[in-house]
Amino acid sequence: MFRRLLSRALTLTAVLITVLTLLTVVLGATGYSDRIIQSLIGEQLRSMRESLAQRIRDPEELERALSGLKSEMERAYGLDRPWYTRIPETVLRVLTLDLGDSRTARSTTGSTKVIDVLSERIPNTVVLVTTAMLISSLLGLYIGATLSKRVGTRLERSVTYLSAVSNSLPSWWTGILLLIVFAYQLRLFPGSGMFSSPPPEGALERAIDVLWHSVLPVTTLVLISIGPSIYASRTLLLNVAQEDFVSVARSKGLPERVVSLRYVLRPASPPIVTGLALSLPASLGGAILTETVFNWPGMGRLYYNAVIMGDEVLIVALTYLFTLMYVVARFILEVLYHLLDPRVRV
């Protein structure tokens, strides 16, 4: 078991490093990283000029000192070498979450450090995505299981059809429809953000406020992910239900509850977990679009803003973090899979 988990961990680490290398190579080859570093040096020089100007009176000498500092910093940042020699250090830097400063985004405390901004935004996204995924996978499992016992009925066929078709709902469009109907026509739910402004006093009121704001985005994410979930559960349970050992269990006279829980659901659970793992990237991607539509202050919304404003540092950091989150979630599901499936355990 541990060897397999280890090999998965290695693969996922390789994913992380590949993505990072890809990011840095693309940034380097298109000249973006040079520009980032240059603006960084420029900013530091500006602040140094002020402190230096108080000590050095002669303007020519000041310029000489500054240009000396500039070339020193360029060497320190590796700007004097071609971009591809800097790849390993950049990868290492980002890998250790040394993410730099954002040009456009600020945390509530006013910090421009990407790591500060992100630590505020990540929980918002995690709450949104995990809630939606939990709801849609549990609901999907329940509906799928119910359907798998009614194969061939009109209900089963139409729900299966709808769930296959719901795969083609674009998340953002679904969100826009919900906004038009529930936020602007019926005025039942707020149209954007996470809190009312001003946010209400008291912890309980605040929690209710957040819940109220999250209804539409969570519904959107559930709507787009429940179809595949229903479809997969129904198909997998159907496959297991046709196995001989299930017929044997039934003919032994075991109660239907025991049969469906222990003889059908149990063996079908590992592939269902795999399905969950495979739907992760779609959910994370869906979060980018859904947060944009609902102005939800998570990573996705931040990513959209970073793209619109051309904030390279933030884009790199967020792309990396999306991958990291995905890889971590993937690994947790992998462990879960090993716990569920005795065949891989031995």
Partner 1 sequence: MSASGAWKLLTSTWSGRVGVSLLAAMVVVSALVLILMPPDFGTKYWNDPAYWIELPKAVPPEWYAWFTGSPYFPQTELELRSAGEGAGYVTYVNSLKFDYDALPSHVLVIVRGVRFSGDPPTIAVDLFRPDGLSVPLARVLVPPPSLQEKGPYVRWSDPPLRVAPESSQDFVMALEGWFSATYGLEVGRVSSRTAFAIPTSTGPVPLKGEYVVVARFFGSPGDGVDSVSVVLGGSHYGLAGTDVVGRDLFLGLLYGFPVALGIGAFASVLVTAIGTLLGLLSGYYRGLLEEAIQRVADVVANVPLLPLLVFLSFLLRPSILTIMAILVVFSWPGLTIIVRSMVLQVIEMPFVEAAKAEGAGDLRVILLHVLPQIAPYVAAQMVFFVPSAILAEAGLSFLGLGDPTIPTWGQILELGFRTGAVFTGYWWWVIPPGLLLVLTGVAFASIALGLEPLVNPRLRKA
Binding site for partner 1 (CB under 8 A): 11-12, 14-15, 18-19, 22-23, 26-27, 30, 32, 151-152, 157, 160-161, 164-165, 167-173, 176-177, 179-180, 184, 191, 235, 238-239, 242, 280-281, 284-285, 288-289, 292-293, 303-304, 307-308, 310, 315-316, 318-319, 322-323, 326-327, 330
- Pick the closer one to partner 1 by CB: 189 or 303: 303
CB of 74 to partner 1, least distance (A): 23
φ and ψ at 70, to 5 degrees?
-60, -50
Minimum Å gap between C-beta 11 and partner 1 is 5
How far apart are CB 310 and partner 1 at their closest, in Å?
8
Cα separation, 1 vs 12, in Å, equals 17
Shortest Cβ 272–partner 1 spacing (Å)? 16
The distance of closest approach from Cβ of residue 259 to partner 1 in the complex, given in angstroms and rounded to an integer, is: 18
Q: Are the beta carbons of 166 and 193 closer than 8 angstroms? A: no
Q: Provide the minimum distance between the beta carbon of 303 and partner 1 in the complex, in angstroms, as a whole number.
A: 7
Place of tokens 């108080």: 54
CB of 239 to partner 1, least distance (A): 6
**Alpha carbons 327 and 8: distance in angstroms, whole number:** 10
Closer Cβ to partner 1, 165 or 248, answer by number: 165
Cβ nearer to partner 1, comparing 113 with 330: 330
Q: Which residue from 100, 115, 112, 107 is spatially nearest to 40, judged by alpha carbons?
A: 100
Minimum CB distance to partner 1 smaller for 25 or for 48:
25
- The nearer residue to partner 1, 111 or 182, going by C-beta atoms, is 182
Pick from 7, 2, 89, 77: which is nearest to 35 by CA?
77
Q: Between 111 and 235, whose beta carbon lies closer to partner 1?
A: 235
If 0-12 CB within 10 Å is exposed, 13-18 middle and 19+ buried, where does residue 226 land? buried
Name the residue nearer to partner 1 (CB basis): 259 or 316: 316
Phi, then psi, of 341 in degrees rounded to 5: -105, 105
Task: Please name the residues in contact with 101: beta carbons below 8 A apart, sequence gap of 6 or more.
Answer: 40, 112, 113, 114, 313
- In the complex with partner 1, the residue whose CB is nearer, 259 or 277, is 277
C-alpha 332/C-alpha 338 separation (Å) is: 10
Question: How far apart (Å, rounded) are the C-alpha atoms in residues 49 and 66?
Answer: 7
Least distance in angstroms from the C-beta of 263 to partner 1: 17
Residues 6+ apart with CB under 8 A from 259: 246, 249, 250
CB 283 within 8 A of CB 221: yes
Which of 230, 245, 229 is CA-nearest to residue 279? 229
Separation between Cα atoms, residue 11 and residue 15, nearest integer Å: 6
21 vs 111, beta carbon nearer partner 1: 21
Instruction: Give least dist CB 126 to partner 1, A.
Output: 15
User: In angstroms, rounded to a whole number, what is the distance separating the alpha carbons of residues 114 and 313?
Assistant: 8
